[in-house]
Structure 1
């Protein structure tokens, strides 16, 4: 039920994306997607959307304040709506602050959370987090170093271990900008093995 998804792997591997090699965001997104694909297809992991759901909830609350302020102003035109408008505007900016904190401190570059389900369904899930960064130097469009980190939190003990690597972007795209999926998969499997073999 929770096994690999061969069709997804076939699509990603046989039809790798082609990106603009000078677009740092496109390069990072393509690499992130490939890393996620390897984790979800090479292992019996199930993707968790809790982090994304949290971001969506915070954003929805902020938008809710905006909609409420607009509706209230329509029902009770300014200046009657002034107090409610002020409260909603302040609440919106507070929620934006919460969202910034959430993405910076909790997500911290995590683009994939994968769960290793216990086959017996007794023990809590082991959680794998993949995070990355492709920093932008001051004098150039982007750095060519892709920083990838895999972290595992053991569901049974709550202990964690992780490993990271720095990859040169050019090694994972050909001259036309097409992603070299096999090269990415090789690095992800190596990094996964490094984490798996670490002692707590």
Structure 2
């Protein structure tokens, strides 16, 4: 591994630590197992945000073309719609995304059955050094779901300088992945 592939973070920045671990897990699953990545979760979030920003832009343009007393109904509609869409976005990220940072698609070798899906999520509480990685496997043909998770301290994956040690992370991800393929549940 070259020095430009090295991931170095501030060990005391929990968000940076979690994001670097998420990126490394994503890299392991996509490169080692050659899965395709599905972007539908992010696309839905971007669509909601685009509509909200479009309504805000419409309000600005409409108010410019028709000064305030005439633009009042359009401004009210755009402002209310923007806040409703932000509420929908909050509900979407809370109940649909659920900290999922990767949706990987495993193509069926024969091409006859539906593809299998891997949803990878993680959590790391504020001011806590425990990183919980969860993988949910949805088998394509039977639609059976299996889920496994593992919790480790972030010190198991970073050295004292804040450099991510991928050789420590890859076996954990591989073991979790293989346990789901074998049908076992690890907690």
**TM-score, with normalisation over the residues of structure 1?**
0.89
Match of 1:185 in 2: 170
Following TM superposition, by how much is the alpha carbon of 1:69 offset from its aligned partner in structure 2, in angstroms?
0.6
Q: Deviations over 1:62-116 (max 9, x none)?
A: 1011001111001101011011000100000010011111111010000001000
Q: How many residues align?
A: 185
Conserved in 2, the CA contact under 8 Å of 1:115 and 1:128? yes
Q: Deviations over 1:1-24 (max 9, x none)?
A: xxxxxxxxx67x972210000000
The change in CA–CA distance for 1:14 and 1:195 in structure 2 (over 3 A counts) is farther
In structure 2, what is the Cα distance between the partners aligned to 1:127 and 1:194? 15
Match of 1:62 in 2: 52
Q: Which runs of 5+ in 1 are unaligned?
A: 1-9, 137-141
Match of 2:19 in 1: 29
In structure 2, what is the Cα distance between the partners aligned to 1:122 and 1:60? 36
Match of 2:134 in 1: 149
The change in CA–CA distance for 1:129 and 1:62 in structure 2 (over 3 A counts) is same
Q: Which runs of 4+ in 1 moved over 6 A?
A: none
In structure 1, what is the Cα distance between the partners aligned to 2:54 and 2:25? 35
Match of 1:5 in 2: none
Q: Summarize the alignment of residues 108-123 of structure 1 with structure 2, pairs less than 5 Å apart.
A: 108-123=98-113
Q: Deviations over 1:12-43 (max 9, x none)?
A: x9722100000000000000000000000111
Q: Which runs of 5+ in 2 are unaligned?
A: none
Q: Summarize the alignment of residues 74-153 of structure 1 with structure 2, pairs less than 5 Å apart.
A: 74-136=64-126, 142-153=127-138
Following TM superposition, by how much is the alpha carbon of 1:193 offset from its aligned partner in structure 2, in angstroms?
1.3
**Backbone CA RMSD of aligned residues:** 1.6
